[in-house]
C-alpha cells in the first residue's frame, strides 16, 4: 500500500514538473515570438517602404495583389496579424487576428461599384507605437493607390479585348482565342467547331428605325449568344452585325443544334424600338468543323462560305460547311 501511495505521489509530482516545464517552454517561445515581432515593429521605415514598394510593383492583377498587400503590410508594421474585409465580408487573413482592437486602414474608399476594401491590423502585445501607426497609414495609402492602378490596368486590358456595345470579346481577342483553341484541339485530338452568325437585313433596321434601334438589336443578339454558350465557349463580335462563336470539344452536328437554338430564340422574340412599336429579328448561321492540318484562316473561310450559303438560301437558317480533307 505504501509503495502504491509513493508511486502515485511520484507520478503526480512528475506531471506537475512536466506541466511547469511545458508552461516555461511555451512562455519562452512566446517571448521569442514577441521579441521577433517587436524587432519587426522597429524596422527601419525605409526598409518597410522598400518591402511594400517591391511587392506592389510585382503584379498588375488586383486579385493577386490583395493577399500580397495583406502579408507585406502586416509584416512591415510588426502586427500580430491582418484581416482583409470587402463590403463587410472577410476575404483573407494573415497571422493572428481577432484578439485585440485592430487598427483599421481604408485601402480603396468607395469605388465605382460602391464597394469598399479595409485592412484590419492587429497590434503586437504592447500595441503599435505612434510612428508605426503613422507608417501603417502611409503604407495603406500606397497600397490603395497600387490596388486602384491594378484595377485600372485590368479595365484598360478588358476594354482592349471587349466589344464596348455588346460586352462580347472583340475581333482581336476572338482570333487569339481561335489560335489557342486550334492548338489545344490538335494536341488533345478533340473536335472544334466555329459558328459565324449575321443579323438578317440589319441595314433596314438602321434605315427605318434609326441607329439607336440598330445598337439595341446588336446588344439583344449579343445577350442571346451569351445566354446559349458554355463557360468554355467564346462568343465575340467580329464587326458590324457579324458575330462568331467558338465551340471547343464540339463536332459540327452538335454545333448545328446550338446554332439552331440561337436562331429560333431570336426569331421567336421581338425588340421594342418605341413604346408602341416592336420589330422581329432573324439571323443566319454558318458552321465549320476544324479539319486535320487546317489553319485558322481556312476554318474561318469555310464557316464564312457556309454563312453565305445560308443567306443565299433565304436567310434565318443554319448551313454547314462540307467536310474538308485538311490543309
CA distance 313 to 307: 10
CA distance 36 to 44: 14
Q: How far is CA 9 from the centre of its chain?
A: 65
Q: Is 280 helix (H, G, I), strand (E, B) or coil?
A: strand
In the set 89, 96, 241, 242, the catalytic residue is 241
Q: Going by DSSP bridges, is the β-strand pair 283-289/318-320 parallel, antiparallel, or unpaired?
A: parallel
Q: Going by DSSP bridges, is the β-strand pair 89-95/81-86 parallel, antiparallel, or unpaired?
A: antiparallel
Order of all β-strands in the sheet with 318-320: 234-239, 242-248, 192-199, 283-289, 318-320
Q: Is 81 helix (H, G, I), strand (E, B) or coil?
A: strand
CA distance 226 to 168: 8
Cell numbers given for 300: 474561318
Residue whose C-alpha is closest to residue 78's, from 59, 93, 96, 54: 96
Strand (E) or helix (H) holding 53 = helix 45-56
CB 250 within 8 A of CB 190: no
Contacts of 215 (CB under 8 A, 6+ apart): 165
Residue 241 is a catalytic residue: yes
Residues classed as catalytic: 241
Amino acid at each position: 500500500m505504501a509503495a502504491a501511495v509513493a508511486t502515485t505521489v511520484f507520478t503526480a509530482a512528475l506531471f506537475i514538473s512536466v506541466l511547469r516545464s511545458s508552461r516555461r517552454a511555451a512562455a519562452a517561445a512566446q517571448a521569442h515570438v514577441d521579441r521577433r515581432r517587436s524587432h519587426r515593429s522597429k524596422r527601419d521605415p525605409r526598409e518597410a517602404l522598400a518591402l511594400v514598394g517591391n511587392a506592389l510593383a510585382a503584379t498588375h492583377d488586383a486579385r493577386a495583389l490583395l493577399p500580397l498587400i495583406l502579408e507585406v503590410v502586416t509584416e512591415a508594421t510588426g502586427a500580430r496579424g491582418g484581416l482583409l474585409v470587402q463590403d463587410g465580408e472577410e476575404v483573407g487573413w494573415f497571422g493572428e487576428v481577432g484578439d485585440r482592437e485592430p487598427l483599421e486602414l481604408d485601402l480603396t474608399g468607395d469605388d465605382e461599384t460602391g464597394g469598399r476594401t479595409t485592412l484590419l491590423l492587429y497590434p503586437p502585445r504592447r500595441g503599435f507605437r505612434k510612428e508605426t501607426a503613422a507608417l501603417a497609414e502611409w503604407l495603406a495609402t500606397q497600397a490603395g493607390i497600387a490596388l486602384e492602378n491594378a484595377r485600372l490596368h485590368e479595365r484598360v486590358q478588358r476594354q482592349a479585348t471587349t466589344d464596348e456595345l455588346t460586352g462580347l470579346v472583340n475581333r482581336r481577342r476572338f482570333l487569339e482565342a481561335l489560335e489557342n483553341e486550334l492548338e489545344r484541339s490538335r494536341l488533345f485530338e478533340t473536335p472544334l467547331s466555329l459558328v459565324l452568325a449575321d443579323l438578317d437585313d440589319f441595314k433596314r433596321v438602321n434605315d427605318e428605325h434609326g441607329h439607336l434601334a440598330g445598337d439595341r438589336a446588336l446588344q439583344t443578339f449579343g445577350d442571346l449568344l451569351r445566354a446559349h454558350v458554355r463557360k468554355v465557349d467564346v462568343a465575340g463580335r467580329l464587326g458590324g452585325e457579324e458575330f462568331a462563336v467558338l465551340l471547343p470539344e464540339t463536332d459540327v452536328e452538335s454545333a448545328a443544334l446550338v446554332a439552331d437554338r440561337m436562331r429560333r430564340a431570336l426569331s421567336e422574340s421581338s425588340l421594342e424600338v418605341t413604346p408602341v412599336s416592336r420589330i422581329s429579328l432573324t439571323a443566319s448561321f454558318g458552321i465549320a468543323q476544324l479539319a486535320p492540318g487546317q489553319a485558322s484562316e481556312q476554318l474561318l473561310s469555310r464557316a464564312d462560305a457556309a454563312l453565305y450559303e445560308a443567306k443565299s438560301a433565304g436567310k434565318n437558317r443554319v448551313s454547314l460547311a462540307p467536310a474538308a480533307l485538311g490543309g
